[in-house]
Amino acid sequence: MDVQGQCEFCHQPVKRKQQSVSANVRMHFCNNQCKGEYQRLAKPVTKEWLEQKYLVEKLDTSIIGRLVSRDPKSVWNWLKDFHIPTRGRGGNNKRVGGPKWVPCHIEVMRPAQIDLERWYREEWQSLATIAERLQVGETTVGRWLNHYQIPLRSIKEYRARDGRVPYLKNGVHHLKGKRGVETPNWKGGITPERQAFYRSEEWRMACITVWRRAKAYCERCGEKQRKKDRGTYHIHHVISFKVRELRGVPTNLLLLCSPCHRFVHSKVNVHKEYLGEVS
Q: Are 108 and 134 in contact (CB under 8 A)?
A: yes
Residues 127 and 164 in one domain: yes
Residues 99-152 pLDDT 10s = 444 444 445 678 899 999 999 989 989 888 898 888 787 888 988 999 999 999
Q: Are 34 and 9 in contact (CB under 8 A)?
A: yes
197 pLDDT more than 70: yes
Whether 184 is in a domain gets the answer no
Question: In sequence order, what are the residues at sequence separation of 6 or more whose Cβ sits closer than 8 angstroms to the Cβ of residue 153?
Answer: 120, 121, 124
∠ CA 241-244-248, nearest 5°, is 75
Whether 98 is in a domain gets the answer no
How does residue 97 score in pLDDT terms, banded at 50, 70 and 90?
A: very low
Which amino acid makes up residue 227? K
Distance CA(46)–CA(82), nearest Å, equals 9
Among 142, 177, 212, the domain boundary falls at 177
Residues 65 and 115 in one domain: no
Whichever domain contains 248, its CATH number is 3.40.1800
The domain total for the chain is 4
Distance CA(146)–CA(278), nearest Å, equals 54
Whether 66 is in a domain gets the answer yes
241 pLDDT more than 70: yes
Residues 34-63 pLDDT 10s = 887 777 777 888 889 999 989 988 888 888
Question: In 229-263, which positions are buried (b, 16+ CB within 10 angstroms) versus exposed (e)?
Answer: eeeebebbbbbeeeeeebbbeeebbbbbbeebbeb
Residues of the domain holding 135: 107-177
What is the pTM for the complete model shown?
0.37
Whether 79 is in a domain gets the answer yes
